[in-house]
Structure 1
Amino acid sequence: MKKRLIPILLLLVLIVSACSSKVENNAESEKKEEIPETITYQSENGPIEVPADPQRVVVLSSFAGNVMALGVNLVGVDSWSKMNPRWQEKLENVEEVTDEDLEKIIELNPDLIIGLSNIKNVDKLQEIAPTVTFTYGKVDYLTQHLEIGKLLNKEKEAKKWIEDFKKRAQETGEEIRAKIGEDATVSVIENFDKQLYVFGDNWGRGTEILYQEMKLKMPEKVKEMALEPGYFALSPEVLPEFAGDYLIISKNPDTDNSFQETDTYKNIPAVKNNRVFAVNAKEFYFNDPLTLEYQLEFFKKAFLEE
């Protein structure tokens, strides 16, 4: 009898052991599934582990349009993005935050934070979620979008858009130059906080498209004063020296634009020849894909359908 019991007991022990092992393996598998996958992004400050599929991104400066263009969910954005009239619907349920709203950001439970290199509290933000910053102008505007694509694990999508956009912008540039002449000049100015600015070729407001892709010319005075720093502050009195044959005015509706009522402005050839195109500055500030697409369509209509 005892001899018969031993094999049965051994069999029971093996069954129980196998079941326990299966339960442990299942628990281990479930545990692995709960851990979100990460990728290593080579940031300008060194490698950083970030989510492979970010779901709750906070953008503290400049890059909200890049993130939205790549179909990644935002939970917090900067005030400049929030005030863009064209993004009101997209950002309706997204909180406005700054680099000092640490408690508010914690409540948003982000899995990734993005901003410019001059934001404050980077060390504290890194304790909340992986935080990646970029120095504005360190790379060109399209490479910047590619970097955002790499960060969000969407490099292929970013690269595809870049190639397509460059092609369309350059083709439009050829059409515009054929119409207005190869030597025609274009200036981009903006009135911000009671100060006039003229822009180079890499400071948003459509400058990247006009000068880099379309190869339109900027006046010599603009090239001399604004090309290297990106922008140059000027008084209304000297505006004629910086005005091209065509004038793009980035107008902030909340700012005093009375310079346009002066004789100095009215006597500028571009104004007298009805070659001034006004845009809403709040829609035109940035150089992300959403804004660039809007700028390209605007320039098509302004130059080719006038």
Structure 2
Amino acid sequence: MKKLLIPFVLILALVISACGNQTSEKTKNESDKKTDPKTITYLSENGPVKVPANPQRVVVLSSFAGNVMSLGVNVVGVDSWSKMNPRFDNKLKNAQEVTDENLEKIIELNPDLIIGLSNIKNVDKLKEIAPTVTFTYGKVDYLTQHLEIGKLLNKEKEAKTWVDDFKQRAQSAGEKIKAKIGEDTTVSVIENYNKQLYVFGDNWGRGTEILYQEMKLKMPDKVKEMALKDGYYALSSEVLPEYAGDYLIISKYNDQDNSFQTTETFKEIPAVKNKHVFEANANEFYFNDPLTLDYQLEFFKEHFLGR
């Protein structure tokens, strides 16, 4: 019996040892799979990027400052257009104006994340300063863009909550506006900048996403033909009546030459004669981030519905 017992004990010891090794290896593999709790991996359009899980000092080089601020994340450097936006004054009062060429200034700001459009310069050098993520404008729709920024900032849940609520509010207001002005009533959005008039499609800021995508208001056929694909179309004041809808939204810079509004051509546009022209401050009407979209929605509710 003793001779049989010794091999059995040896076999049992080998089995226990093997199980212990497997458990140890499994624990090690699971540990290796765990992400650094201080970082997350964001799958950008250019591949995976390791970014802070809780960014504290973000530099935004184009377009997305309002998205970042709406999610409660601190912005320390920002593009000139965002810095000029009076609606961003309080949130950006301590942020520095920077460009993609101000590398030394960006280094001084000690950012932990840099965000910009895909056409910014010096991307490789910016990546040496901090994790850098770029987005191609219009590659995804404006609400999906906010969700992507939510993922990047590790705040996807908060971003989705806002998107769902905004769509409901905008679509509800659209139904009321159509009931008041008529299903087939057309709306145009124009802007004058650097002595050039522009009319906009449905995805170029200035409230176009709300009017056309969420509220489903109609744009004039001429606008649809010329501006829908590219997002905007440059035109002369002489042909503006061809692009003017029953309602005309003017995104207006007060420091630009707006003399087109004093011409007889402009005054004879039906929307002008019917007092269906709504003017907005272009500096605060420019973007399509949550802070701006909320303001634009209230602007349209006030002007179309009188509240």
Question: Does the TM-score normalized on the shorter chain lie above 0.5?
Answer: yes
Q: Partner amino acid for 2:231?
A: G
Q: Which residue of 1 aligns with 2:66?
A: 65
TM-score by length of 2: 0.88
Question: Which residue does 2:85 correspond to in 1?
Answer: 84
Q: How does 1:185-196 map to 2 (within 5 A)?
A: 185-196=186-197
- Say if 2:29 is the partner of 1:51: no
Runs of 5+ unmatched residues, structure 2: 1-35
Pairing of 1:268-287 with structure 2 (within 5 A) = 268-287=269-288
2:33 corresponds to which residue?
A: none
Pairing 1:231–2:232 present? yes
For 2:288, the aligned partner's letter is N
Equivalent residues of 1:36, 1:51 under 8 A apart: no
Give matches, 1:1-306, under 5 Å. 37-305=38-306
Question: d(CA) in 1 for partners of 2:93 and 2:166?
Answer: 28
Distance 2:122 2:187 in 1: 40
Q: CA deviation at 1:247?
A: 0.2
Summarize deviations over 1:106-143 as a string: whole Å, max 9, x none: 00000000000000000000000000000000000000
In 2, Cα distance between equivalents of 1:129 and 1:116:
16
Distance in 2 between residues matched to 1:201 and 1:93, nearest whole Å:
33
Looking at structure 2, the residues matched to 87 and 142 of structure 1 have their Cα atoms a distance apart, in angstroms, of 20
* CA distance in structure 2 between the aligned counterparts of 1:237 and 1:227, rounded to whole angstroms: 21
Partner of 2:248, secondary structure, is strand
Deviation at 1:90, TM superposition (A): 1.5
- CA–CA separation in structure 1 for the residues paired with 2:90 and 2:161: 26
**Counterpart in 2 of 1:14?**
none
Report the secondary structure of 2:278's partner residue: strand
| Deviation (angstroms), 1:36 | 6.9
Partner residue, 1:27:
none
Alpha carbons 1:122, 1:131 under 8 Å: kept: yes
Name 2:23's counterpart in structure 1.
none
Supply the distance in 2 between the matched residues of 1:148 and 1:87 (Cα, whole angstroms): 18
Partner of 2:17: none
How many residue pairs align between the two structures? 272
What is the distance in 1 between the residues matched to 2:258 and 2:284? Answer: 17
Check conservation: 1:70, 1:154, Cα contact below 8 A. Answer: yes
Contact 1:116 1:136 in 2 (8 A): yes
What one-letter code is carried by the residue in structure 1 that aligns with 2:92?
L
Deviation per CA, 1:63-110: give whole Å up to 9, x if none.
Answer: 000000000001000000000011112111100000000000000000
Shift of 1:279: 0.3
CA distance, structure 2, for counterparts of residue 254 and residue 81 of structure 1? 17
- Please identify runs of 4+ aligned residues in structure 1 that moved more than 4 A: none
Q: 1:5-41: per-residue Cα shift (whole Å, max 9, x none)?
A: xxxxxxxxxxxxxxxxxxxxxxxxxxxxxx8710000
Q: Deviations over 1:208-264 (max 9, x none)?
A: 000000000000000000000100000000000000000000001110000000000
SS of 1:54's equivalent in the other structure is coil
TM-score, normalized by length of structure 1? 0.88
Aligned-partner residue type, residue 152 of structure 2: L
